[in-house]
Amino acid sequence: MSYTADPSRDDATSDTADTAQTPPPARDRAARKRRRALDDYRVLDTAAEDAFDEIVFIASQLCDAPVALISLVEADRQWFKARIGFEACETPISQSVCRHGMDSDRMLIIEDLTKDARTAQNPLVLHDPQIRFYAGAPLITPDGTIIGMLCVIDTAPRPGGLTREQQRMMTGLAKQVVTSLELRREVADAERETAIMRRTVERMRLAEEAGHVGAFEVDLTTGIAETTREFRRIYGLDDVSAVDVAMLSAMQLGDAMPFDAVDDADDLRVSEYEIEQPGGARRWVQRRAELAPGKKGEPDRLYGVITDVTEQRAINQEMSHRLKNSLALVQAIASHTLRGVADAEPVMEFNRRIAALSSAHDILLSRTHAAGSLRAVVEAVLSRLGMEERIVWSGADFNLASRPTLLLSILVHELATNAMKYGALSVEGGRAEIASHVEDHADEPQLVIVWREIGGPPATEPEKKGLGMRLVQSGLDPAGSAKVDFGEEGMTVRFTAPVARVAG
């Protein structure tokens, strides 16, 4: 038996160095370090994977050996991540030949196992499968920890062992094993963060990786929150998934229920508050959360999503300001101008339009949101605008929750009034259609609402987006979409939103 020199290096290890024993304390430290590395890779006792199976196949063919193994060595056993020509998936550490290579970064080659004192009494040598030749290249992690061996085994002795070229290629394949383990760990880390979002979707059906929405999962026993990347962006935190909830609570401004004072599920479902990021910037966020009971029935986890609503609040404030000023001006003009009008019908139509604007303003500022059917919302807006005969409704009705009810009334009002000023409803013979339906998607069903103008002048995209266009492009829900098409006969808008988020 001998440790052979690494073919990529010029220095060779002497026979004396090969047989030197590592002191027990150093061996124990190496074993603990090896165990930590194996735990970090999370690879032990996992299913076969093509990347590793291909490596042992290449090693077997390269060395013309009936057995090739990727052996990961623990304190009491060696476990094979990949194997060819060897039935068992693990052996006791007492039967391991690989363990004799754990103290060197060189290849271990034993030409005849029956003649080496360390392996002559090995049950795998004395009995079936009666192995005789062994050659292993150490699996060395980036920090220098040896976690196992890529080895080939034969049932016949091999005087001379492996050629220099075979040793070089075995060393290269061993490095490829470690590279695959590193890649596998990186993929697992990414999947773990995705799993947090998946669990949140399953429990709350609120978190969608869209818009400005971030997910979190708080362990109430430890006070640590696992967060997604978007959550950390909203809060202005460093890109580390685990966050102390006390820090999150300290960032809250106002009297919203903080993360570290959770004791009542009723106070958690929806809350909106301002936060101050570490750099001093302030954002408005909406939190939706739900407590999950533990094994003893008491809540031990908090799941939820955070939505950045800063821009939406700015839009709402601008809308409120504009509507108040507009209504005040219109009412003043109307009071002066319409006093002498003899025909009551134009006055009534004018008043209906003023009422529509007033109603939209009231809905916008209302703190009590009543749910309603999609069709009822559309018809109410159109009736106030006096456009019932020129706008055709089609499609299935749908019960909307309070927030999308509010948003839809504003969107329809903006589209209709824009069409009355510049689009199909501004010319004789022009009309509009509104249609809705539910589409099945791979992830979840989507509500689709389409506004289409017909017979109007060509629509052109504005150079500068006003408030109305910003509202339309915001859509019905942050997890949905709003696609605007400026066509030859007017504007077409297609809104989509997850059914689970907008259903009443």
Most confident of 15-19, 25-29, 204-208, 448-452: 448-452
Which residues of the chain are in CATH 3.30.450.40 domains? 2-186
pLDDT for the residue numbered 208 = 45
Among the residue ranges 9-13, 48-52, 181-185, 437-441, the one predicted with the least confidence is 9-13
Inform me whether the pLDDT recorded for 86 exceeds 80: yes
Confidence (pTM): 0.40
Q: What angle do CA 334, 338, 344 make, to 5 degrees?
A: 120
Inform me whether the pLDDT recorded for 165 exceeds 50: yes
pLDDT for the residue numbered 249 = 85
Indicate the average pLDDT of the chain. Answer: 80
pLDDT for the residue numbered 359 = 55
Q: Which CATH class is domain 311-502?
A: alpha beta
User: How far is C-alpha 380 from the geometric centre of its chain's CA atoms?
Assistant: 39
What is the per-residue DSSP string for 52-71? HHHHHHHHHHHHT-SEEEEE
More confident call, 146 vs 335: 146
For residue range 193-209, list pLDDT tens digits in order. Answer: 777 666 655 554 343 44
More confident call, 338 vs 2: 338
pLDDT for the residue numbered 114 = 96
Q: What does the block give as tokens for 59?
A: 């090693």
Percent of the chain with pLDDT over 70: 78
| pLDDT band at 320; cut points 50, 70, 90 | low
Q: What does the block give as tokens for 223?
A: 């006070």
More confident call, 72 vs 301: 72
For residue range 423-464, list pLDDT tens digits in order. Answer: 989 999 899 999 999 988 888 899 999 999 999 999 888 888
pLDDT for the residue numbered 218 = 87
Q: What CATH number does the domain located at 213-308 have?
A: 3.30.450.20
pLDDT for the residue numbered 468 = 74
Torsion over CA: 38, 40, 45, 47 (sign): negative
Inform me whether the pLDDT recorded for 297 exceeds 60: yes
Q: Which CATH class is domain 2-186?
A: alpha beta
Inform me whether the pLDDT recorded for 324 exceeds 80: no
Torsion over CA: 142, 69, 131, 97 (sign): positive
Where on the phi/psi map is residue 181: left (φ > 0), alpha (ψ -120 to 50), or beta?
alpha
Which residues of the chain are in CATH 3.30.565.10 domains? 311-502
